[in-house]
Amino acid sequence: MRVGIVLPKAFRRYSIDLDGYAAEIAASGHEPVVICPANEHPDFPFELVVYRGDEAARSEFWRSLSLDRVICMTWFGYPEVFRAIRTAGVRIINRADSDGLVSTRVFPSEAWLRLVHPFRGPLDFLKRARHFLNWYFSYWRQHDAGILEVLSLSDRVVVETELFRKNFEKFLRYHHREDLLARFSVVPHSVPDCFLAGPVPIARPKTIFCSGRWDDDQKNAPLLEACIRRVLRVRPDVGFVIAGFGVPEAFPRLVGFEPKVRLAGLLERESLPSELSACRFLLSSSRWESHPIGALEALCCGCSVVATPVPGFREIVGDGRFGCLAGSHSASSLAGAVIAELDCWDSGKRNPLEIASHWREEVNNKVVVRQLLSE
């Protein structure tokens, strides 16, 4: 069976482990093929097809590839590509990578948090509020129609958690398209093999790991900074590692907090397992997330998770077995969750081996790819 992995943008090392997908597809006896408009991935060991212009919107292009099915990662865009694949008779697996909160009209409070909450000053607030109102009263119709078309063209829609599926159910009921619900299935994201094979230390320093694209409003760097300041006032024995894009620019006022706060910046993926294995838990201040792969990587290294109350983290933390959630997107609430999780570790309520064992079985590529390709 030839299995295409379809991307609408240049192919590079994504947070989604496409290298692992392709390797596991090949290990299962199938042929992986990545289809994309440009290649920026060095030394990809499998077949890769680069399309030109509107080539992907033509059914004859897809027929020429002799694919049996495709895993599409287009985030509900590019319906013309879905139409062409469908016309070519290729089965479509739509990897949603979405929390299901896809409509400003259906989920207004969540859209407000994403569109308006990051405002900087009164004028920026007014501009963002106007943008939100335009989406709520007008733009949502065309946007939602596009999502519905892509869902209709998909043979399977794979979401990452049951909570995400329920959010999509609400979206589809609003639009009277409950008939599409039968196409949905739940398959988590996977993590690279380097997070699955290493040792899992039991004794760990009182260190907290924070990672993200800190130049992005999604990650909410101001909330993380305020949380860290509050925690250190109460627990000066704790250390923080802040990694990812844009660290120096996002956290200039934390420079003086060294050595309690290490501004690590961008780290190589291969170094992350050892970094995480030397931490107790991952801390996220995100305004929204789909299925947070960084958190899954941390869990596979024996860390727990502390985060804001967004659906992706709510599903991970569950009943409190794997971490603590803040009650709101406020510094006091997030700091309270951090201190509560520190208490769990101090009192022996967290077992890194149990955490890592559970998640390594759930989110390895062998299990995930098998579920993606199952019918």
Question: Going residue by residue through the chain (375 aa), what tens digit of pLDDT does each one get?
Answer: 999 999 999 998 878 999 999 999 999 999 999 999 999 998 899 999 999 999 999 999 999 999 999 999 999 999 999 999 999 999 999 999 999 999 999 999 999 999 999 999 999 999 999 999 999 999 999 999 999 999 999 999 999 999 999 999 999 999 999 999 999 999 999 999 999 998 999 999 999 999 999 999 999 999 999 999 999 999 999 999 999 999 999 999 998 887 899 999 999 888 999 999 999 999 999 999 999 999 999 999 999 999 999 999 999 998 899 999 999 999 999 999 999 999 999 999 999 999 999 999 999 999 999 999 997
Please state, in angstroms and rounded to a whole number, the distance separating the CA atoms of residues 124 and 230: 27
Q: In 3-state terms, the chain is what percent helix, strand and coil (to 5)?
A: 45, 15, 35
Q: Which CATH number fits domain 193-362: 3.40.1110.10, 3.40.50.2000, 3.30.300.30, 3.40.30.10?
A: 3.40.50.2000
Tell me the DSSP string of 130-148: HHHHHIIIIIHHHHHHHHH
pLDDT at 256: 81
Which residues touch 63 (CB under 8 Å, ≥6 apart)? 88, 89
Same fold, 2-102+143-191+365-373 and 193-362: yes
Tell me what pLDDT residue 42 has.
Answer: 85
pLDDT at position 9 is 93
Structure tokens at 215: 């130049």
pTM, entire model: 0.95
Q: Is the dihedral of CA 287, 292, 294, 299 positive or negative?
A: positive
- Phi first, then psi: give them for residue 264, nearest 5 degrees: -80, -25
**Ranges of each domain in the chain:** 2-102+143-191+365-373, 193-362
Here the tokens at position 366 are 């062998």
| CA torsion angle 350 159 147 134 (round to 10) | -10
Cβ-Cβ contacts under 8 Å for 156 (sequence gap 6 or more): 92, 93, 94, 183, 184, 185
97-126 burial code (b ≥16 CB/10 A, e <16): bbbbbbbbbbbeebbebbbbbbeeeeeeee
Task: Give CATH superfamily name and number for 2-102+143-191+365-373.
Answer: Glycogen Phosphorylase B; (3.40.50.2000)
| 5 φ/ψ angles, rounded to the nearest 5 degrees | -115, 110
